[in-house]
Amino acid sequence: MELSGFAIIVYHLDLSQSSAAIVYSAYSLCLVVCLPISGWLIDIGHIARSFRLGVFLYALSSLAMLAEYGFFYILACRCVQGFSAGLFSPSVPIIVSNSGASSARSLSIWTTISSVLFAISPLIIGYMTEYASWGAAWLLIPLFALFALCMVKDLNQTDLGVVRYRVPSTESLIILLVIFLCFGASTFVIFALPTDFRTPSEAGFALMLLWILSGAVSFFISKLLSNNNYRALIFIGFVLHFPIVPAVMFGEPYVAVTLAGLGMGLVNAPTTFALLRSARANEQGLLASLDIMSARLGGSIFIIAFAV
């Protein structure tokens, strides 16, 4: 809903490319600022509190979007959404990776399910916005939030006190750089969709294609991902991201969407798996936060560099 929500705002307020960049970058900046806080909360044993508070605030700020008082009001709501997303986002892959016997398989299935939901939501939300109303799409978030809050009710919480972090390994730093570059390129594609297509439904279809491809690849590698081959999967996904920005710049959005979908499917689960497998028990929150931080900073910098 986060990325679909951005497209809705761009269409509904008829934003210029520079104004759209401000909205997206403000969301990402607030999210990045909050990530160290949520990572620390997770590592001292408060993963459920961080998740619940973030989801609750995100749902509340989404309801506030219904008021629609103009650009600066919407910008403020998106800032709150970014801050709240920063609270709950790092806890999600940790909850998922600890939910089954195989961390790699759990993460791959999670990315597959997420991609399917991402694929469906832009098209539905695009049609709802175009043929129903602005508020109809934003009312979906509280329903999903209620479901998410019910799912984490049994998480154990133990205050672990002071946490001493170590410098991430060389491999972890390289993977964070790969995340920065790959998600920078993929985010630029998603950012460019509202200007490449005339209606929300057309942009929704392109987003649906992107996430279907990503989900299909994630499902395909769900049984392949292991300690032996995650580096190869990351490398292939990394290479697929190279032509994305040129494809957008030369007016080939469907080529860019296809490459982004395939590349994200190969990079998503393996990079998260690699980071979490290298972390000590009290460092998972830190690395999960750095994972998302790298992706968000990459997206914002690519947008500023190529779109503004």
Q: pLDDT tens digits for 260-307?
A: 999 999 998 899 888 888 777 677 788 888 898 898 889 888 888 876
Which tens digit of pLDDT belongs to each residue from 110-130?
788 877 777 777 667 767 766
- The whole-number pLDDT of residue 102 equals 67
| CA dist., res. 233 & res. 238, Å (int) | 9
Which tens digit of pLDDT belongs to each residue from 154-176?
555 555 555 566 677 888 899 99
Distance set, CA 288 to CA 19, 153, 157 (Å) = 30, 21, 18
42, 299 Cβ separation under 8 angstroms: no
119, 111 Cβ separation under 8 angstroms: no
- The whole-number pLDDT of residue 158 equals 53
Q: Which helix (H) or strand (E) holds 283?
A: none
**Residue 175 corresponds to which tokens in the numbers above?**
């993977």
234, 266 Cβ separation under 8 angstroms: yes
Residue 43: pLDDT over 80: yes
| CA dist., res. 189 & res. 257, Å (int) | 7
CATH code of 2-155+168-306, in short, is 1.20.1250.20
Contacts of residue 127, defined as CB under 8 A and 6 or more positions apart, other chains included, come to 200, 201, 204
- The whole-number pLDDT of residue 4 equals 58
Q: Which amino acid is at 201?
A: S
Query: In 197-229, where does DSSP find H-type helix?
Result: 200-221
Q: DSSP state, 169?
A: P
Q: DSSP state, 1?
A: -
- The whole-number pLDDT of residue 175 equals 93
Domain boundaries, the chain: 2-155+168-306
pTM: 0.78
- One-character DSSP codes across 228-242: TTHHHHHHHHHHHTT
The pLDDT confidence band at residue 177, using thresholds 50, 70 and 90, is very high
- The whole-number pLDDT of residue 165 equals 65
Q: Which residue from 270, 276, 264, 170 is spatially nearest to 225, judged by alpha carbons?
A: 270
Phi/psi-derived region of residue 197, left when phi > 0, alpha when psi is between -120 and 50, beta in every other case: beta
Q: What are the φ and ψ backbone dihedral angles of 4, each rounded to 5 degrees?
A: -65, -40
Q: Which helix (H) or strand (E) holds 134?
A: helix 134-138
Which tens digit of pLDDT belongs to each residue from 201-217?
677 778 888 888 988 89
95, 69 Cβ separation under 8 angstroms: no
